Amino acid sequence: MKISFISLFPEMFNGFINSSIIKRSVKNNIVEFEIINFRDFSKDKHHKVDDYQYGGGSGMVLMLQPIVDCINSIKTENSLVILMTPKGKVYNQRIAEEISKNYNHLIIISGHYEGFDERIKNYIDIEISIGDYILTGGELPSMIIADSIIRLMDGVISKDSLISESFNDYLLDYPVYTKPFDFNGHKVPDVLLSGNHKEIQSYRLNERIKITKLNRPDLYKKYIKFKKGE
């Protein structure tokens, strides 16, 4: 897979690409990155990319010409063009899985200021938000999207690990423990040392249900429907 990050601050992606599992994925030729500053496509003599908004209002708006020319310079028939914006569809694991299975080139656009001219919708495929809060720019959300998709690709993480993760059946993950057994009086649940795999599985499922019901009642409702086959 190839991932193209489009941003006004390309240096923000260096740590992401050169660390941990992502770095190993690049080394193993599973994923390829390119980082493009769309300011380089501005036809303004000062490389200006923003201007005041029509109708008045605070904040500057990113102009279409630089970003559209940038998109067109790298887009192919199998590219998915993603715009990171608080106005977008809220991202989840299902979207990550769908994208990882159906595309081999992602173009992920990071916005700034008051965002892009609304007409950018004519040049993108999907608007994505990572939650109900505002950040200073789209770079961090862009990296979150990329990370969640890359880890689903063959050869990045073991399939057993992926199967047991949160959200696969609308439940959050179960608690995990390691040594020591007793830390300042806080002990590992006895069932995990019992060697009874059936009881351990039952304990973990019950914990997943309890945690999901407490922290994510929205997911718990989906889990109930999932269990009923709705």
**Cα separation, 158 vs 109, whole angstroms:** 29
**pLDDT of amino acid 158:** 85
Strands (E), the chain: 2-7, 32-37, 50-52, 60-62, 79-90, 105-110, 126-129, 182-183, 186-187
Q: Do residue 206 and residue 108 come from a single domain?
A: no
Q: Do residue 137 and residue 173 come from a single domain?
A: no
Q: What is the extent of the structural domain holding 224?
A: 166-228
Domain CATH for 199: 1.10.1270.20
Domain CATH for 96: 3.40.1280.10
Q: Do residue 198 and residue 108 come from a single domain?
A: no
Residues of the chain with pLDDT under 70: 163-166, 230
In the chain the first and final C-alpha atoms are separated, in Å, by 34
Q: How deeply is 180 buried, as exposed, middle or buried, from its count of CB atoms within 10 A (0-12, 13-18, 19+)?
A: exposed
Q: Do residue 54 and residue 138 come from a single domain?
A: yes
Residue 87 maps to a domain: yes
Q: Do residue 76 and residue 140 come from a single domain?
A: yes
Q: Do residue 119 and residue 23 come from a single domain?
A: yes
> Residues annotated in the binding site, as ranges?
111, 130-135
Quote the pTM value.
0.90
Query: What's the number of domains the chain is made of?
Result: 2
Q: Do residue 134 and residue 178 come from a single domain?
A: no
Q: Do residue 32 and residue 146 come from a single domain?
A: yes
Q: Do residue 108 and residue 192 come from a single domain?
A: no
> Residues annotated in the binding site for S-adenosyl-L-methionine, as ranges?
111, 130-135
**pLDDT of amino acid 230:** 66
pLDDT (tens digit per residue) in 162-172: 766 657 789 99
**pLDDT of amino acid 164:** 64
Domain stop point among 126, 150, 174: 150
Domain stop point among 122, 150, 178: 150
Q: Do residue 90 and residue 126 come from a single domain?
A: yes
Domain stop point among 150, 179, 205: 150
Q: Do residue 66 and residue 126 come from a single domain?
A: yes
pLDDT (tens digit per residue) in 4-48: 999 999 999 999 999 999 999 999 999 999 999 999 999 999 999
